[in-house]
Amino acid sequence: MKRFPLLIIILTIAYINLFAKDQDPEIENLKRETLPALEKPLKSTDTLTVNRLNQLAQLYFESYPDSTIFYAKLAVNRSKKIGYSKGAAEAYIQIATVNSFTNDYTAAYENFNQSLQLYRKLNDSLGISEVYMGLGQVEDHQGKYDKALRYFNRAIAIRKALYEDVYEAESYAIMGVTYDNKGEFSKALDCYFRSLNINLKYNNQLDAADNYNNIGIVLRHLKLYPKALEYFNKALNIWFRLKDKQGISSAYQNIGEVLTEREDYSNAISYLQKASAIFHDINDQEGISAIYYDLGMYQYHTNRIDSALHYLNLSLQSAKKNNQSRNQASAYYGLAMLYNRSGKYKQAHNYALNAKNLADNIGSRDLRAEAVLQLSYALGGLKQYDKALQQHRQYVALTDSLQNNESIQKLISYNLAIDFENSQKQASLKEATLKKRITRQRQTILIAGVVILVITTLLIVYYNAKRKQSIANKLLEQKNREILAHQAGIEEQSEKLNQLNTLKDRLIGILAHDLRAPISTLRNMFVLLTDKDISQEEFIEMVPRVNEKLENTSGFLDTLLVWINSQVDNAESKSKKFVLHEIVQNEVAYLNDQLLHKKIHIHNNVSERYAAVADPNCIRIVIHNLLTNAIKFSEIGGVIELYAEAGNDDTITLRVKDNGVGLPEEKLNRLFKGTVASNPGTLNETGTGMGLVFCKDLIEKFGGKIWAENNAAKGTTFSFKLPVG
C-alpha cells in the first residue's frame, strides 16, 4: 500500500510529459535527473533533489503554472521530512506566486508568510527580500499600490546592501509596473530604465523583454505610438525565441491596444484575439478580464454597441470575481463611455461614479481622470450643467498633472544617449565605407593608367600616337572630374556630420546644465529652509527668481517635446487648416504676465481671415518662441507688433516686430544654425539659444520658411511663411 503515493507521482509526471509539448531541454534534463530520486523512500531524499524540484517548479511557471504547484508541493513535503528549511521556504514562494497569478490572494498571503517565517529563522536576507517582492505583487494585483511600494522598497534596500544587481533589476521592474498603474509615469520610467541597464549588462534576455514591454506601455500612455510599437516588438521577438506564452500574450495585447488607439482596427482585432486565446489557455484570470475590456473597446470604436456591451460586462464580472480592482474600474469606465454614447445618461452616471470611486481607492490618477471626464458628459446629458462643468474642470486639472515633464526629460535623455551611440556607430561605418571606396578608386585609376600607358606605347609604334593620346587624356580628365565630384560629396557629408555633432553637443550641454540648474536651485532652497539657514522672508524673496528659471525650463521642454514629436510623427498626418489670429491671441494671453512685468505694449494686428495649413501645435510653439524673444530683448515700455500678409505664391507671412535692442548683422546670418550663444535680455533674462533652431526645423517641415531682419529704426522683425489655408 505504501507504494501507491509513489505510483501517483510517477503517473502525474508522465501525464505532464504527455501534454507539455515542445518542452525546454533544461526541463527535460532536470526531470530525467529527478525521477530516480523520487522512486526512493522520503527519508532518503537529499537537498539536491529538493533544489531540482524547486527549479522545475520555477521553470514551469511561465507556461504551465499547475505543474509549478505540483513540483513545489513535492519540494515542501520532502524538505519537511529532512528538515531542509531553505528548500521549503523556496517552495512556498513558488506556490504563493501561482496563487497570486490565479488571484487566490488568501492562499498567497498564507504561503508567502510561511516562507517569511522560515527565512527569518535562517537569517536569509535575500530570501526575505523575495517574500517582500511577492507580498508587494499581491497588494499590487488588488490595487493597493502604496502598500505594494512599501514592500518593494524594503526588498530593494536589502538587495542593494547585498550588492545583488540581478535581483535589484527584478525589483525595479516590478516596482515600475506599480508606479505605472498609479499613473506616475516618470517614476515608472526611472524604474524600467534602471532595470533594463542591469539586464542588458548581464544579458538577461527574458527580463530585458519585460523591461521593453513595460517601457512600451509608458510610451503608449504618452501617445508616442511608433516608439511604443518598437519596444513591444523587441519584447515579442525575445518571448517568441524563448517560447514564453505569458509574455507573448502580453505583447499581443499591448500591440492590439496601440493599434486600436491609432484606429487601425483591422490589424488590432487580430492581435487582441491571439492574446485572448493564450490568456484562456494558461488560465490567466487578470489577462482574461483585461482582454475582455480591450475587445469591448474595439467593438465600441467599430460601432458594434451590443458586442461592446457584452464584452465589457464579461470584463466587469471577471474582475469582480477575481477581486481585480484596476480591471473593475476600467470596465466601469468603458460602460460609462458606452452609455454616454447611447444617450443613457443615468446608467452612464452610475458607472462613471463607480469608476471614479474605485480609481480613488486604488490611487490611479489616469483612470480617475478618464472617469471624471465621463462623469461630466453624463451630468451634461442629465442637464446638470453646473456639476458637469465642475467635473470637467477637475478633468482638466488631472490631465495637466499627468503631463509630467520629468517623464519626458528621462525619456529624452535615454533616447539621446542611445541615438548618440547609434549615430557614432553609423558615422564610423560610413567613414570606413568611404575609405574603402577611395582605395578601390585609386587602385582602379592606377590600373587604368598602367593599361593606358602600355596601350599608348604600342599604338605609338603601330598607329597614330596623337589620336590615341587624345583619347587617353579625355579618359583621365573624366576620372579626375569624378574624383573631384566625389570629394565634394565627402566634404558636404562631413559638413552635415559637423552640424549634427554641434547640435548634439549643445543639446547634451543644455540637458546637463540648463535644465538641471533650476531644479538644483529649488532643491537647495528647500534644504536651506529646512535647516533654517534662511528665514521664510528670504525664501519668499528668492521664489520669483527661481520661478522665472522654472518657467524658462518649462518653455524649453515644451519646445523640445513638440520638436521631438515632429521627428517621430508624419508631418502630413498632423497638418490641417487653422486661423493664425486665434493662436497669436492665445499666446499673447499666455505671456501677459511677462508683458506686464516689462510694461510692453503689444498689438495683434493679424486678421481673422488669414488661415494657414500646418500642425497648429507646432506653429503655436514657433509663435511662443518668437514672442518670448521679442519680450526678452525689448526695453521697459517697449512695443511689439504682430501682423500677417498674403503672398502671391499661395503663402501667408506672419511677422513679429519689436523696437528692442536688435542684433548685429553677423549674428542674424547665423541665428538659425544653432551656433549663436544665448545673450541675456534687457532684464538679464536667460535662455538656451536652441529655440530658434527648433523653430526653423518645425517651419520647414510644413513647407515654410523663417528669417530675421533688423528694422530701419530700431529692433528686429522675425518672419515666417506657410502655405495658405
Residues of the chain with pLDDT under 50: 1-22, 405-406, 409-410, 413, 416-417, 420-421, 423-424, 427
Q: What is the pLDDT of residue 648?
A: 87
Q: What is the pLDDT of residue 19?
A: 42
Q: What is the pLDDT of residue 676?
A: 55
Cα torsion at 40, 43, 45, 51 (round to 10°)?
140
Distance from C-alpha of 95 to C-alpha of 76, rounded to nearest angstrom: 10
Q: What is the pLDDT of residue 552?
A: 60
Distance from C-alpha of 174 to C-alpha of 39, rounded to nearest angstrom: 39
Q: What is the pLDDT of residue 399?
A: 73
Q: What is the pLDDT of residue 223?
A: 79
Quick one: CA dihedral 377, 381, 382, 388, positive or negative? positive
Identify the burial level of 159 via C-beta atoms within 10 angstroms of its C-beta, where 0-12 means exposed, 13-18 middle and 19 or more buried: buried
How many CB atoms are closer than 10 A to CB 40? 12
pTM above 0.85, yes or no: no
Identify the burial level of 5 via C-beta atoms within 10 angstroms of its C-beta, where 0-12 means exposed, 13-18 middle and 19 or more buried: exposed
Element (H, E) at 655: strand 651-658
The pLDDT tens digits for 243-262 are: 999 999 999 999 999 999 99
Could you tell me whether strands 705-710 and 639-646 are parallel, antiparallel, or unpaired per DSSP bridges? unpaired
Could you tell me whether strands 716-723 and 651-658 are parallel, antiparallel, or unpaired per DSSP bridges? antiparallel
Distance from C-alpha of 412 to C-alpha of 227, rounded to nearest angstrom: 12
Q: What is the pLDDT of residue 165?
A: 87
Q: What is the pLDDT of residue 466?
A: 73
Distance from C-alpha of 510 to C-alpha of 549, rounded to nearest angstrom: 13
The pLDDT tens digits for 621-653 are: 999 999 999 998 999 999 999 999 998 889 999
C-alpha cell, 459: 599604338
Q: What is the pLDDT of residue 443?
A: 76
Q: Which residue has the cell 510653439?
A: 621
Amino acid letter, 648: N
